[in-house]
Amino acid sequence: MDVPQNVLDALTRATTRHGVELALALGLSMVESGLDPNAEGDQDAAGVPHSFGLMQLYDAGAGYGHTREELLNLDNNTDWGCAYLRSCLDAFPGDIYTGVSAYNQGIGGARERGWALNAPYVRNVLYYRDQFRDGGFTSTPSTPTKPGCWSLGVVLTVVATFGILKLGGVL
């Protein structure tokens, strides 16, 4: 898998600062955004996005109180996303499954419902973590994209990746 150099640099700084494994943050970012720092998701009925950036910070959750522009800033997004991931992992010491689940559904939700609620999400994050741990990526030149736009390469990568995972039975 190709990881843009600017993404790798930002995640390396943030994971070091917050004591999060780089491979885990890469795996989570792969599932959340397909490694697209300009991704926007969780659209409401009017088509307004509510999750932003590489780590898909939700504007009513980990991204609360920040503007779209702040959340799409790669350094902010990785710093705040890794800080939130650290708090999720700390909330469930020794339980990586529930810690990762908490990133997706919130710490309160994970306490109440456990990780089985979003088991496919958790398994995909950990699958990619293992791929990144095993050196299954190469750094590529940073290629800025227009904020809010998915490049065709990212879309095809996400579709192909998730199609393979689903067919392979990981989901």
Which pLDDT score, from 0 to 100, does residue 144 have? 62
Average pLDDT over residues 79-83: 98
Backbone region of residue 26 per phi and psi (left: phi > 0; alpha: psi in -120 to 50; beta: other values): alpha
Average pLDDT over residues 149-170: 39
Backbone region of residue 83 per phi and psi (left: phi > 0; alpha: psi in -120 to 50; beta: other values): alpha
Domain that holds residue 63: 2-167
Count structural domains, the chain: 1
| Whole-number Å distance between alpha carbons of 140 and 46 | 36
Which pLDDT score, from 0 to 100, does residue 150 have? 41
Q: Is the pLDDT of residue 28 over 90?
A: yes
Q: Any idea what the CATH number is for the domain that residue 45 is in?
A: 1.10.530.10
Question: pLDDT: is 42 or 166 the higher one?
Answer: 42
Global pTM reads 0.81
Using one digit for the tens of pLDDT, what is the confidence trace for 105-144?
A: 999 999 999 999 999 999 999 999 999 998 877 777 775 6
The token pair that represents 89 in the structure block: 């992992």
